[in-house]
Amino acid sequence: MTHTHTSILALGSNLGDGRANLLRAIELIASRIGQVVAQSSVLTTEPWGFVSEHTFVNQVIIVKSALSAEVILAETQQIEKALGRITKSKQGNYADRIIDIDLIDYDGQIVETVDLQLPHPQMQKRLFVLTPLCEIWPTWEHPILHKSAQELSNNLTTYNENQH
Protein backbone atom coordinates (compact mmCIF):
# COMPACT_ATOMS: atom_id res chain seq x y z
CA MET A 1 0.00 0.00 0.00
CA THR A 2 1.57 3.27 -1.09
CA HIS A 3 1.18 6.27 1.16
CA THR A 4 -0.82 9.11 -0.33
CA HIS A 5 0.06 12.72 0.19
CA THR A 6 -2.27 15.70 0.15
CA SER A 7 -1.32 18.63 -2.05
CA ILE A 8 -2.95 21.98 -2.65
CA LEU A 9 -2.53 23.32 -6.18
CA ALA A 10 -3.53 26.80 -7.34
CA LEU A 11 -4.39 27.21 -11.01
CA GLY A 12 -4.67 30.40 -13.00
CA SER A 13 -5.18 31.44 -16.61
CA ASN A 14 -5.64 34.77 -18.37
CA LEU A 15 -5.09 33.91 -22.03
CA GLY A 16 -7.43 32.07 -24.37
CA ASP A 17 -10.45 30.28 -22.90
CA GLY A 18 -9.44 30.40 -19.25
CA ARG A 19 -12.13 28.05 -17.98
CA ALA A 20 -11.27 25.48 -20.65
CA ASN A 21 -7.57 25.85 -19.76
CA LEU A 22 -8.35 25.13 -16.10
CA LEU A 23 -10.47 22.11 -16.99
CA ARG A 24 -7.77 20.70 -19.26
CA ALA A 25 -5.12 21.26 -16.57
CA ILE A 26 -7.27 19.44 -13.99
CA GLU A 27 -7.76 16.51 -16.41
CA LEU A 28 -3.98 16.26 -16.89
CA ILE A 29 -3.34 16.57 -13.14
CA ALA A 30 -5.84 13.75 -12.52
CA SER A 31 -4.17 11.51 -15.11
CA ARG A 32 -0.54 12.32 -14.28
CA ILE A 33 -0.39 13.29 -10.59
CA GLY A 34 -3.26 11.83 -8.62
CA GLN A 35 -6.89 11.95 -7.58
CA VAL A 36 -8.46 15.41 -7.49
CA VAL A 37 -10.51 15.16 -4.29
CA ALA A 38 -11.81 18.75 -4.14
CA GLN A 39 -11.99 21.75 -6.41
CA SER A 40 -13.15 25.27 -5.69
CA SER A 41 -15.42 27.23 -7.95
CA VAL A 42 -13.69 29.39 -10.57
CA LEU A 43 -12.91 32.93 -9.45
CA THR A 44 -12.38 35.86 -11.82
CA THR A 45 -9.61 38.16 -10.56
CA GLU A 46 -7.44 41.06 -11.58
CA PRO A 47 -3.78 40.38 -12.44
CA TRP A 48 -1.48 40.34 -9.38
CA GLY A 49 2.00 41.83 -9.55
CA PHE A 50 1.70 43.15 -13.11
CA VAL A 51 -0.65 45.12 -15.37
CA SER A 52 -2.69 43.37 -18.04
CA GLU A 53 -5.94 43.95 -19.87
CA HIS A 54 -6.71 40.25 -19.40
CA THR A 55 -8.44 39.20 -16.18
CA PHE A 56 -7.58 35.86 -14.63
CA VAL A 57 -9.65 32.86 -13.78
CA ASN A 58 -8.34 31.11 -10.68
CA GLN A 59 -9.14 27.85 -8.97
CA VAL A 60 -7.70 25.79 -6.13
CA ILE A 61 -7.74 22.00 -6.09
CA ILE A 62 -6.75 19.35 -3.57
CA VAL A 63 -4.96 16.30 -4.91
CA LYS A 64 -4.16 12.95 -3.27
CA SER A 65 -1.02 11.45 -4.77
CA ALA A 66 1.72 8.92 -4.03
CA LEU A 67 4.24 11.20 -5.77
CA SER A 68 6.85 13.30 -3.97
CA ALA A 69 6.52 17.09 -3.89
CA GLU A 70 9.47 17.40 -6.30
CA VAL A 71 7.84 15.03 -8.80
CA ILE A 72 4.51 16.86 -8.50
CA LEU A 73 6.31 20.15 -9.19
CA ALA A 74 8.02 18.66 -12.26
CA GLU A 75 4.72 17.20 -13.51
CA THR A 76 2.89 20.54 -13.11
CA GLN A 77 5.63 22.22 -15.15
CA GLN A 78 5.26 19.55 -17.86
CA ILE A 79 1.47 20.08 -17.85
CA GLU A 80 1.98 23.85 -18.23
CA LYS A 81 4.22 23.17 -21.26
CA ALA A 82 1.72 20.68 -22.71
CA LEU A 83 -0.97 23.36 -22.50
CA GLY A 84 1.23 25.89 -24.28
CA ARG A 85 2.97 27.83 -21.54
CA ILE A 86 6.40 28.90 -22.74
CA THR A 87 8.08 30.64 -19.80
CA LYS A 88 7.78 30.70 -16.04
CA SER A 89 7.87 33.98 -14.11
CA LYS A 90 11.42 34.95 -13.18
CA GLN A 91 12.46 37.20 -10.29
CA GLY A 92 8.93 38.40 -9.74
CA ASN A 93 8.38 39.44 -13.37
CA TYR A 94 4.86 38.22 -14.07
CA ALA A 95 3.21 38.05 -17.47
CA ASP A 96 0.01 36.87 -19.14
CA ARG A 97 -0.22 33.09 -19.28
CA ILE A 98 -2.33 30.31 -20.70
CA ILE A 99 -1.93 28.31 -17.52
CA ASP A 100 -0.14 28.64 -14.21
CA ILE A 101 -0.04 25.79 -11.71
CA ASP A 102 1.47 26.52 -8.31
CA LEU A 103 2.16 23.88 -5.68
CA ILE A 104 0.88 25.64 -2.55
CA ASP A 105 1.21 22.92 0.08
CA TYR A 106 2.33 19.29 0.39
CA ASP A 107 1.27 17.48 3.58
CA GLY A 108 1.94 20.67 5.56
CA GLN A 109 5.67 20.22 4.99
CA ILE A 110 8.15 23.08 5.13
CA VAL A 111 10.60 22.80 2.23
CA GLU A 112 13.31 25.30 1.23
CA THR A 113 15.31 24.23 -1.82
CA VAL A 114 16.45 26.07 -4.94
CA ASP A 115 13.58 24.57 -6.94
CA LEU A 116 10.86 24.27 -4.34
CA GLN A 117 9.56 26.34 -1.43
CA LEU A 118 6.69 24.99 0.63
CA PRO A 119 4.33 26.29 1.59
CA HIS A 120 4.28 28.60 -1.44
CA PRO A 121 6.04 31.77 -0.18
CA GLN A 122 3.48 34.22 -1.64
CA MET A 123 0.26 32.36 -0.93
CA GLN A 124 -0.68 34.30 2.22
CA LYS A 125 -0.57 37.56 0.19
CA ARG A 126 -2.88 36.30 -2.54
CA LEU A 127 -6.65 36.39 -2.16
CA PHE A 128 -6.88 34.58 -5.51
CA VAL A 129 -5.38 31.59 -3.66
CA LEU A 130 -6.92 32.11 -0.22
CA THR A 131 -10.51 32.78 -1.34
CA PRO A 132 -10.92 29.54 -3.30
CA LEU A 133 -8.90 27.62 -0.69
CA CYS A 134 -11.30 28.82 2.02
CA GLU A 135 -14.19 27.53 -0.05
CA ILE A 136 -12.89 23.95 -0.01
CA TRP A 137 -10.57 23.79 3.06
CA PRO A 138 -11.02 26.81 5.39
CA THR A 139 -9.36 24.99 8.32
CA TRP A 140 -6.11 24.20 6.44
CA GLU A 141 -3.27 25.49 8.62
CA HIS A 142 -0.22 27.31 7.26
CA PRO A 143 2.73 25.31 8.67
CA ILE A 144 4.90 28.39 9.30
CA LEU A 145 2.37 31.10 10.19
CA HIS A 146 0.12 28.69 12.16
CA LYS A 147 -3.03 30.37 10.90
CA SER A 148 -5.91 28.74 9.09
CA ALA A 149 -6.71 29.59 5.48
CA GLN A 150 -9.77 31.45 6.80
CA GLU A 151 -7.69 33.51 9.26
CA LEU A 152 -5.14 34.37 6.54
CA SER A 153 -7.95 35.40 4.20
CA ASN A 154 -9.67 37.50 6.89
CA ASN A 155 -6.35 39.19 7.76
CA LEU A 156 -5.62 39.97 4.11
CA THR A 157 -9.13 41.28 3.43
CA THR A 158 -8.89 43.58 6.46
CA TYR A 159 -5.37 44.68 5.44
CA ASN A 160 -6.52 45.50 1.89
CA GLU A 161 -9.50 47.46 3.17
CA ASN A 162 -7.18 49.48 5.45
CA GLN A 163 -4.92 50.34 2.50
CA HIS A 164 -7.66 52.35 0.78
- pLDDT score for 46: 81
pLDDT tens digits for 35-62?
999 999 999 988 777 778 888 999 999 9
pLDDT for residue 15 is more than 70: yes
Global pTM reads 0.90
Burial class (CB in 10 A: 0-12, 13-18, 19+), 70: middle
Of 83 and 163, more confident: 83
DSSP string, the chain: -PPPEEEEEEEEE-SS-HHHHHHHHHHHHHHHT-EEEEEPPPEEE--SSS--SSPEEEEEEEEEESS-HHHHHHHHHHHHHHTT-----BTTB----S-EEEEEEETT--EE-SS-EES-TTGGG-HHHHHHHHHH-TT-B-TTT--BHHHHHHHHHHHHHHT-
pLDDT level of residue 5 (50, 70, 90 thresholds): very high
pLDDT for residue 160 is more than 70: no
Q: Which of 68-77, 81-90, 112-121 has the lowest mean pLDDT?
A: 81-90
How much is the mean pLDDT over the chain?
A: 90
pLDDT for residue 161 is more than 70: no
What average pLDDT does range 8-29 have in this prediction?
95
- pLDDT score for 53: 84
- CATH number for 5-121 (one of 3.90.70.10, 3.90.1150.10, 3.40.50.1820, 3.30.70.560): it is 3.30.70.560
pLDDT tens digits for 74-108?
999 999 999 987 765 555 556 678 999 999 999 99
- pLDDT score for 3: 86
What average pLDDT does range 127-140 have in this prediction?
96
